């Protein structure tokens, strides 16, 4: 096996798997062990060339670890089946972000106590949005005073327009006698 990328595996029509780097046929248990050992596998169908890694890994979970399949609540499975394309894209992005966070937990040691959740969040943000500065704990972004003044002016203008539309206030530029 090599660390130069994913382990390439082909599935043949007789349902046998062949790992090119190892130059040997492998079983589902062997593939599971490769993944447990930290390797990434890439499985393709020998006839169609279709990438079937997801299907094979799901098969391993369903057959070898049905208890782990319970991680997916029934309601979520219903939602996935009912999802349209936009919702499917959202769920895919959501799960990818969750995996990034889980990978961060794995790297930092899931058994280690949570010393500083902000450090985990910073590392997660760095991986999801490289190059974007992430604030230090307790930091709240402040808008420059000119922006705050502009926002206050715009808000007052909008409120005046609303009152005008409701017939409850003098026209723009007029002052209200109180």
Closest CA to 12 of 64, 56, 57, 54: 56
- Position 54 scores a pLDDT of 92
Residue 20, SS3? Answer: coil
DSSP output for 82-97: H--HHHHHHHHHHHHH
Rounded to an integer, what distance in angstroms lies between the CA atom of residue 31 and that of residue 34?
5
Spans of the chain below 70 pLDDT: 1-3, 106, 108-144, 168-178
Which pLDDT belongs to residue 2?
Answer: 46
- C-alpha to C-alpha distances, 125 to 92, 102, 122, 133, 174, nearest whole angstrom: 18, 13, 5, 9, 49
Cα–Cα distance measured from residue 136 to residue 134, given in angstroms and rounded to the nearest whole number: 7
| Separation between Cα atoms, residue 143 and residue 160, nearest integer Å | 24
Q: pLDDT tens across 96-129, in order?
A: 888 877 777 767 665 555 556 666 666 666 666 6
Q: Residues 6-18: pLDDT tens digits?
A: 999 999 988 899 9
Q: Is 89 exposed, middle or buried (0-12, 13-18, 19+ CB in 10 A)?
A: exposed
pLDDT of residue 95: 83
Place of tokens 């780097």: 21
Q: What CA–CA distance (Å, rounded) separates 52 from 12?
A: 12
Looking at residue 9, what is its pLDDT?
96
Predicted pLDDT of residue 142: 54
């Amino acid at each position: 096996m090599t660390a130069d990328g994913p382990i390439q595996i082909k599935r043949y029509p007789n349902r046998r798997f062949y790992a090119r780097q190892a130059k040997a046929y492998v079983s589902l248990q062997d593939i599971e062990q490769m993944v447990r050992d930290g390797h990434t596998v890439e499985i393709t169908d020998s006839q169609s060339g279709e990438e079937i890694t997801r299907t094979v890994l799901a098969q391993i979970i369903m057959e070898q670890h049905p208890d782990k399949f319970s991680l997916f609540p029934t309601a979520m499975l219903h939602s996935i089946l009912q999802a349209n394309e936009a919702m499917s894209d959202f769920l895919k992005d959501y799960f990818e972000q969750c995996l990034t966070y889980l990978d961060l937990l794995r790297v930092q040691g899931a058994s280690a106590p949570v010393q500083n959740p902000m450090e985990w969040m910073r590392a997660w943000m760095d991986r999801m949005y490289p190059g974007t500065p992430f604030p230090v704990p307790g930091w709240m972004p402040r808008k420059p005073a000119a922006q705050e003044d502009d926002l206050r002016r715009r808000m007052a203008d909008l409120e005046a327009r609303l009152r005008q539309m409701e017939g409850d206030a003098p026209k723009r530029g007029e002052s209200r006698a109180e």
